[in-house]
Structure 1
Amino acid sequence: MDERPALFGKYEMGRLLGKGTFAKVYYAKQIDSGESVAIKVISKDQVKREGMMEQIKREIAVMRLVRHPNVAELKEVMATKTKIFFVMEYVRGGELFAKVAKGKLKEDEARKYFQQLISAVDFCHSRGVSHRDLKPENLLLDDNGDLKVSDFGLSALPEQLRNDGLLHTQCGTPAYVAPEVLRKKGYDGSKADIWSCGVILYVLLAGFLPFQDENLMKMYRKIFKAEFEFPPWFSTDARRLLSKLLVADPERRITIPAIMRVPWFRRGLTTHQAFSTEEPPPTAIEGQEDTKLPSPKFFNAFEFISSMSSGFDLSSLFENKRKTGSVFTSKCSVGAIMAKIEGVAKGMNFKVSKLKEFKFKLQGRTEGRKGPLAVTAEVFEVAPEVAVVEFCKSSGDTLEYAKFCEEDVRPGLKDIVWTWQGDQVSTVNNNAKLEEDQ
């Protein structure tokens, strides 16, 4: 290793592990603990030129919600003026498909990896994140031989959803990509992920791809028709499941809750594995109706940018003029949060009016330097037990708004607040002195 300074005084940089379109990935060691990590280095100028800065910020916010034993962990994000550094869990067992290159897997072993893959994908979908680039390079094995999906949501940086709520960008390796993605029409990212899981299961069991042809257009035609054959050694139950996974029409493709009920899939599952009771049940999956009480808008990667966690306050990093606002998380119920905000506002002699189901307007009754202060408060659901609340000034003086937040709102809401954005010093803001020449 050459004599270059430690990254942010924390990480000793090592060999280059790989290169992507926007990034280089290096092996590194945490100096204090000796822990191995992988550090993805992204050029800010390049992502700005490509107009991808907002996408990166969204994914960082959401990755803090994605903590799962079968997803490689995003540990920390740091930055300088020119570069962004993603510190990832280092998964040393190599790619799962290095095993497949030596020959097909036995059915029990293939099932174990498929169970772990579905567990990871289900968890991330419940958090509003679709991978959309599930392929061999993103499936790694740890020291225990367990599957880790790497770069979930970062390998395929998410495009804006259009007005129809669908994604419109082709990405991924063609052989693993769902037909609706190849057709360049709108598609549901989570349904496309399920197709890719089907291709992966086929490859684990067969040792080769279901759709392959030297002529790319012929391969596309096979994918569009879901035209493939089963090798003779596939069991009847495995064939039955694959016939439901590799369905060209995404509306008819099997869902994850249905996969979990398939006897072939359930075989050998242990109680601690896969689908624990701690996570939202399958009915919480995006797009399903809830006939009970209304709930606030689900916190989705594409709907709301929040960087309230320690080490992830990137507002200064991206030099964006964000609207003045305050954000906190709470473990209280949405009803309790709304009632508390209303009570505090009325105690301050603010008029409270409802703008929509989970959004208030708080209107001051006294004249300030720029007229009466008006503030909106909106609640977003992160998970069944966590909510994010955002305050924004809609009119009035900014200094008076800052005083309102610091001296009135914070003390008044302390009983329901879990963490305020920016309360813990961000790694980003303390590390401007790094040598830029990584």
Structure 2
Amino acid sequence: MEVIPEETNDGGDVIMGPPPLPWKTPERRIAKAKRTLSQTQNRPSGSNENSNPGGTPPKRSNNPVQNQIVTAPNANTQMLPKESQSTELRKVTIYFDRLEFVRVLGEGAFGEVVLMVDREDPTIAVAVKKIDLTKTTAEDRSTLKKEALIQRAIRGHRNILRYLNMQTHKNVFELYLEYADGGELFDQIEPDYGMEPPKAQFYFRQLMSGVEYCHSKGVVHRDLKPENLLVTKRHCLKICDFGMATIFRSDGKERLLNTRCGTLPYAAPEVFTNTQYRGPPVDIWSCGIVLIAMLVGELPWDKPTAEHENFTRFVQDRDISHRPWCRFDTNELSLLKMILILTPIKRATIQRIMNHPWFVSNLFHQSNLRRKIPAGNGVSIKQNRMQLGAPISSSQPAAMRHLTTPSVPTSADSQYLTIESFPKPACQKVSFSQPLNVDSLLLNKSQLSASQVASPFAVSY
């Protein structure tokens, strides 16, 4: 459970109420919390009625409300906690033998995602992705376990949906994940309007923090989009659905990738070529498209290839006279131009993005900004989703589309790009989303046994 600083009145008393919207919280409130902290730290120990005899400094209060003020985030982050200064999080212990079914969150051709809660503590909830193994091939089953192992390897960051456990029971593969109770980021984007800039900045900062952590662990996601970004009711963004993720660096050695995968409007242009590509620039490109969707509620193109005029006009000619580019201010456009560069080696790095003026500035004054819709036709984010197919869940990472790879994509599957959509040598073995030797990059084969069953046990996070 995330703790967000509560508002205080002039006397320093805490005003209890619903949690504030972080992107609508002016910095003066955070500054007041910092002053309260400073006064508390500088107060002589003898002046505190509860201080220990002999002038021993008082221990930190166990009162959670007081701790909320003490742990107020730095004002420069606009309520966005960093790992080194994150707000207090409640430690949760999950007992798997106490979990009970509540409802189905999403369904697909091979299984479902269900919500389960602890029968003794209903505030503890997990999402369980269940796959019927009798309907899958051996390669599909290997891919499932690789996805789970990758997600386990990068757990520990607040902006990545936490892996809890996996098991195989009665031909059903079960992947236990943290439950994000706020739904998809996609559902918070208003068509043709997006969201207010402070809110977009707030979520984009968290997205970049999570992606930076993935890359530091040698993992590239390759399918970043609003549907694969969940949020909690405390406004914490969670990157999910690592079905197309892979290892691009191991033991300090980086390898090039060649699997063509992802979602067409968000995929980087190099994914569509017949050459190998680096992993991190692909994710950075997708983050740029996600930012566009958050700011204006539309997408710049259906597919980043030369056949699409909108793509060519911006990437090659830098023409910003049409939608959506004419809707951005100078700082926003400057950042997007850094990210959406055709040559991967020239594309902005995560560090450059985090140092950009738009990323670090205070956008509170734009809280009520509502952009005008100019003339012309844009690629609506909602319309794009309806035309090209939607994932099977609106609140949890339930998409299992990477398990089905038709050689001739149907209209419903055409949004998702896989290696099967391209000509390949007859001798080449088809890879869904992982390298064939990923086992050696993660765990030994004994840990990938299909008979692995988790006995009822507890996990804390």
TM-score by length of 2: 0.53
Partner of 2:130: 41
2:428 paired with 1:428 = no
Q: Distance in 1 between matches of 2:224 and 2:141?
A: 20
Seen in structure 2, the aligned counterparts of structure 1 residues 62 and 220 have a Cα distance that, compared at 3 Å, is farther
Secondary structure in 2 matching 1:112: helix
Q: Distance in 2 between matches of 1:116 and 1:250?
A: 23
Residue 58 of structure 1: CA displacement?
A: 6.7
1:179 touches 1:224 (CA, 8 Å); kept in 2? no
Q: Distance in 1 between matches of 2:453 and 2:157?
A: 25
- For each residue in 1:55-95, what CA deviation from the matched residue of structure 2 results, as whole angstroms up to 9, or x when unmatched? 72475155244211111111121222522211111112111
- For each residue in 1:332-378, what CA deviation from the matched residue of structure 2 results, as whole angstroms up to 9, or x when unmatched? xxxxxxxxxxxxxxxxxxxxxxxxxxxxxxxxxxxxxxxxxxxxxxx
2:330 paired with 1:240 = no
- For each residue in 1:24-72, what CA deviation from the matched residue of structure 2 results, as whole angstroms up to 9, or x when unmatched? 2112213343212111112445554335516724751552442111111
Partner of 1:262: 356
Partner of 1:165: 255
When the two structures are aligned, how many residues end up with a matched partner? 279
Residue 237 of structure 1: CA displacement?
A: 1.2
Partner of 1:117: 207
Secondary structure in 2 matching 1:38: strand
Seen in structure 2, the aligned counterparts of structure 1 residues 97 and 58 have a Cα distance that, compared at 3 Å, is closer
Partner of 2:17: none
Q: Distance in 2 between matches of 1:130 and 1:21?
A: 26
* Aligned counterpart for 2:450 among listed residues 309, 314, 318: 318
Q: Distance in 1 between matches of 2:217 and 2:309?
A: 31
Seen in structure 2, the aligned counterparts of structure 1 residues 429 and 143 have a Cα distance that, compared at 3 Å, is closer
Secondary structure in 1 matching 2:336: helix
Q: Distance in 1 between matches of 2:354 and 2:176?
A: 32
Partner of 2:281: 191
Residue 150 of structure 1: CA displacement?
A: 1.6
2:219 paired with 1:82 = no
1:56 touches 1:157 (CA, 8 Å); kept in 2? no
Seen in structure 2, the aligned counterparts of structure 1 residues 217 and 182 have a Cα distance that, compared at 3 Å, is same
Secondary structure in 2 matching 1:304: helix
* Aligned AA (2:301): F
Secondary structure in 1 matching 2:299: coil
Residue 23 of structure 1: CA displacement?
A: 4.5
- For each residue in 1:147-187, what CA deviation from the matched residue of structure 2 results, as whole angstroms up to 9, or x when unmatched? 21123xx33253899x9922222222100001111224322
* Aligned AA (1:315): Q
Partner of 2:155: 66
1:195 touches 1:246 (CA, 8 Å); kept in 2? yes
Q: Distance in 2 between matches of 1:224 and 1:21?
A: 39
Seen in structure 2, the aligned counterparts of structure 1 residues 55 and 158 have a Cα distance that, compared at 3 Å, is farther
Residue 221 of structure 1: CA displacement?
A: 8.2
2:201 paired with 1:107 = no
Residue 124 of structure 1: CA displacement?
A: 1.0
Q: Distance in 2 between matches of 1:117 and 1:56?
A: 25
Q: Which runs of 5+ in 1 are unaligned?
A: 1-6, 270-299, 308-312, 320-426, 432-438
Secondary structure in 2 matching 1:98: helix
* Aligned AA (2:157): H
Seen in structure 2, the aligned counterparts of structure 1 residues 164 and 107 have a Cα distance that, compared at 3 Å, is closer
1:245 touches 1:254 (CA, 8 Å); kept in 2? yes
Q: Distance in 2 between matches of 1:149 and 1:237?
A: 26
Q: Distance in 2 between matches of 1:80 and 1:223?
A: 51
Give the 5 Å matches for 1:30-429: 30-34=118-122, 35-45=124-134, 48-50=137-139, 53=142, 56-57=145-146, 59-60=148-149, 63-102=152-191, 103-151=193-241, 154-158=242-246, 165-212=255-302, 218-219=307-308, 222=311, 226=315, 229=320, 230-268=324-362, 303-306=440-443, 315=447, 317-318=449-450, 428-429=453-454
Greater helix fraction, Structure 1 or Structure 2: 2
Q: Distance in 2 between matches of 1:147 and 1:85?
A: 24
Q: Distance in 2 between matches of 1:201 and 1:30?
A: 36
Q: Distance in 2 between matches of 1:183 and 1:77?
A: 36
Seen in structure 2, the aligned counterparts of structure 1 residues 206 and 62 have a Cα distance that, compared at 3 Å, is closer
Seen in structure 2, the aligned counterparts of structure 1 residues 249 and 19 have a Cα distance that, compared at 3 Å, is farther
Q: Which runs of 5+ in 2 are unaligned?
A: 1-94, 364-436, 457-461
* Aligned AA (1:201): L
1:24 touches 1:42 (CA, 8 Å); kept in 2? yes
Partner of 1:29: 117
* Aligned AA (2:98): K
Residue 219 of structure 1: CA displacement?
A: 3.8
* Aligned AA (1:73): R
* Aligned AA (2:449): L
* Aligned AA (1:317): S
Greater relative contact order structure (CA < 8 Å, 6+ sep) = 2
Q: Distance in 1 between matches of 2:131 and 2:255?
A: 28
1:55 touches 1:157 (CA, 8 Å); kept in 2? no
Aligned-CA RMSD value: 3.5
Residue 428 of structure 1: CA displacement?
A: 2.4
1:27 touches 1:39 (CA, 8 Å); kept in 2? yes
* Aligned AA (2:185): L
* Aligned AA (2:161): A
Q: Distance in 1 between matches of 2:121 and 2:282?
A: 39
Secondary structure in 2 matching 1:50: helix
1:110 touches 1:204 (CA, 8 Å); kept in 2? yes
- For each residue in 1:246-267, what CA deviation from the matched residue of structure 2 results, as whole angstroms up to 9, or x when unmatched? 1111111111111122121122
Give the % identical residues. 32
TM-score by length of 1: 0.56
